[in-house]
Amino acid sequence: MNALKQIRDAVGKIQVQLNDPSLTDPEKELLSDTLDNLYDQEDAIENTALQALVDRLNVSNTELQDLITQMQKASAKISAFSNTIKTIMNITGDLAQATTKALGAGFL
């Protein structure tokens, strides 16, 4: 996240600099190209972070499913927790699925 902060700081400085009337057209073009590249890097970092989140949620849900199966086979006291865990697993699964779809559609 430190990299994102540094990129955003640089973007802000470049945006301010682009308003300088003394810049030549080639200088403005160079700064604009740099700005575009920084936006690309920002997007790549955010998408990588979101994909890592989805991957972690999916692994965790697989582990939870295994635990639910074990709970259901256990005593009635423990198996009662399985419904609560299923609800949590469904919510995080839906989040992972929605994030994956949004990434694939280019919304994130």
Q: What is the pLDDT of residues 59-97, one digit of tens each?
A: 998 998 888 888 878 877 777 777 788 888 888 888 888
Are 61 and 92 contacting, i.e. CB atoms less than 8 angstroms apart? yes
Start-to-end Cα distance in the chain = 16
Q: What is the pLDDT of residue 14?
A: 94
Q: Distance of CA 47 to CAs 53, 78, 101, 103, Å?
A: 10, 38, 12, 7
In the chain, where the domains are located: 2-105
* CA distance linking residue 99 with residue 52, whole number of Å: 11
Q: What is the pLDDT of residue 2?
A: 84
Global model pTM greater than 0.85: no
